[in-house]
Amino acid sequence: MLVPVSYNIRNLVVRRTTTLMTALGVGLTVSVLVGIGTLVEGLRTSLEVGGDPLNLIVMRQGSTAELVSVVSKEDFEQLKFAPGIATNGGEPLISHEVLTVVNLPLRTDPESVSNITLRGLSPVGTRMRPGVRLTEGRWFETGRREVTVGKAVNAKRAGTSVGDMLYFGRGDWEVVGVFETDQGAFNSEIWADGNLAAADLGRGSMRSSILVRAQDEVAAKALTSLVADDQRLTLEAERESEYYAKQMVSAGPVQGLGALIAVIMAVGSCFAAMNTMFAAVANRAREVGILRLLGFSRVSILTSFMLESLLLSLVGGLLGCLMVAPLHGFEGRIGNFTTFAETSFQFQLTPQYVVGGMVFAAVMGVVGGFIPSWLAARKSVLGSLGAV
């Protein structure tokens, strides 16, 4: 039979200052781990939503990003009428796109300038991203020096409100609208007419990539093979979703550093929990003796103190999750090592990370509490009572 849990809970309450300080230590550790998790999850969601499963991105062989890829007009024309490409009203869903970056300052800090992705595309390219919708103004018109900006760009970057003028290439471009996607990477882009943008940037007939929509899964595989096998093209195709998933590499260093800090802090928190439990065991040695005298077994004592350590760390875990909770939905930005541009995302605190944080806290409690609990259980009744 186990010692009642109320005994442990009340002891934690009685030693509330020690309990709170230890729980806070555990909580900070959990908050680092879960906080990094919310960042990674937010970035992952952002990049996942950025890709349609039937969309293929075609780039120059060996290119890791659209920004460093070159695809000619001739290549585009060859591919345009390949079998398996989806159509809309007889028009093939294929878009020849140019990518570059433009420097824009923050609205709040004009000195802080970052690379923002500028995508030149055709109206078909716009329609090929069905998750994208206008929230303000209108779409850019073909042949006019107009841009439509993503929601995140509009929110953070100066000169991106509807009616503002942006300067890049050979002159000014008018902001005529704002679009958004469901947390997609496109929110961090500026879109303009592809032909005009390419001309302005001095690209001639060269673009960066081709976006093509396959009719179905089988067609997507066939198109991928066709692009790879055609010796004239020297291009390669991959799923748009996979392309964006690869960009998760940007989160790698942050994730690794966060995990390292969390592990180092966890060692400290384990010792804090251990110290607290050692103090608890020392202060309650006589109580342990009484419980043993009444007939409670060593296993009951061990379990009781382990449970107390576990409760302590779970309180810490809960504190840690509460500390991170305000981050949920908060908009963040990170430099994308693949596109060399900024990617916006929203921190996402998911149930999985909350559970993970609580499990992490529990592990700290169990590891930190074991030795003191074991020593408490190991003592003889008389030793605990202080009679010998």
Partner 1 sequence: MSASFAVELRGVLKEYVRAEYSVRALDNISLDIKAGEFFCLMGPSGSGKSTLLHLVAGIDKPTDGRVSVLGQDLSELTDRELAHWRSENIGYVFQTFNLIPVLTALENVELPLLLTGLRRKDRLQRARTALGVVGLADRLDHRPQQLSGGQEQRVAIARALVTDPSIILADEPTGELDAAAADDVLSILKILNERHGKTIIMVTHDPRARSYARKSSYLDKGLLGPMPGEA
Does 17 bind partner 1 (CB under 8 A)? Our answer is no
The count of C-alpha atoms lying within 13 angstroms of the C-alpha of 106, restricted to the half-sphere facing its C-beta, is 6
- Least distance in Å: CB of 311 to partner 1? 14
Shortest Å, Cβ 287 to partner 1: 6
Confirm or reject binding of residue 10 to partner 1 (CB under 8 A): yes
- 218 interacts with partner 1 by CB under 8 A: no
Strand pairing of 171-180 and 146-150?
parallel
270 Rama sector, left if φ>0, alpha if ψ -120 to 50, beta otherwise: alpha
Asked if 297 interacts with partner 1 (CB under 8 A), we say: yes
Residue 12 CB, nearest approach to partner 1 (Å): 9
Q: Which of residues 273-292 bind partner 1 (CB under 8 A)?
A: 286-287, 289-292
Residue 92: count of CB within 10 angstroms of its CB: 16
Smallest gap from Cβ 27 to partner 1, in A, equals 24
Structure tokens at 6: 């109320």
Looking at the DSSP assignment, which residues form a beta bridge with residue 210? Answer: 58, 96
Q: Interface mask (CB under 8 A) for partner 1, residues 223-252, using x and -?
A: ------------------------------
Residue 103 contacts partner 1 per CB under 8 A: no
Q: Does residue 388 belong to the site contacting partner 1 (CB under 8 A)?
A: yes
How far apart are CB 362 and partner 1 at their closest, in Å? 23
Asked if 62 is part of the footprint of partner 1 (rule: CB under 8 A), the reply reads no
Q: How far apart are the first and last CA of the chain?
A: 27
Q: Hey, which bits of the chain come out as E strands?
A: 55-60, 87-88, 91-92, 94-105, 113-121, 133-137, 146-150, 165-168, 171-180, 189-193, 209-213, 235-239, 331-335, 342-346
Q: Which two tokens stand for residue 11?
A: 């002891």
Assess 295 for contact with partner 1 (CB under 8 A): yes
Residues that bind partner 1 (CB under 8 A): 1-4, 6-7, 10-11, 13-14, 286-287, 289-298, 380-382, 385, 387-388
